[in-house]
Amino acid sequence: MVAEAGTELDDALARALDDRPEVRFHRRVEAGTALRVLMDHAASARMIVVGQRDERAPVGEMLLGSTSRGLVEFAPCPFVVLPTAAARGTNDLPAAVHGH
Supply the pLDDT for residue 100. 31
Q: Average pLDDT, stretch 73-79?
A: 92
Q: Average pLDDT, stretch 65-76?
A: 90
Supply the pLDDT for residue 96. 43
Q: Is the pLDDT of residue 73 over 70?
A: yes
pLDDT band at 99 (very low <50, low <70, confident <90, very high): very low
Q: Is the pLDDT of residue 54 over 50?
A: yes
Euclidean distance between CA atoms 52 and 68, whole angstroms: 8
Euclidean distance between CA atoms 99 and 43, whole angstroms: 21
Q: Average pLDDT, stretch 34-62?
A: 81
Supply the pLDDT for residue 87. 55
Supply the pLDDT for residue 21. 78
What number of other Cβ atoms are within 10 A of residue 40's Cβ?
Answer: 12
Using CA atoms in the order 83, 86, 87, 88, what is the torsion angle rounded to 10 degrees?
80
- Which three-class secondary structure state does DSSP give residue 82? strand
Residue 72: partners with Cβ closer than 8 Å, 6 or more residues away: 64
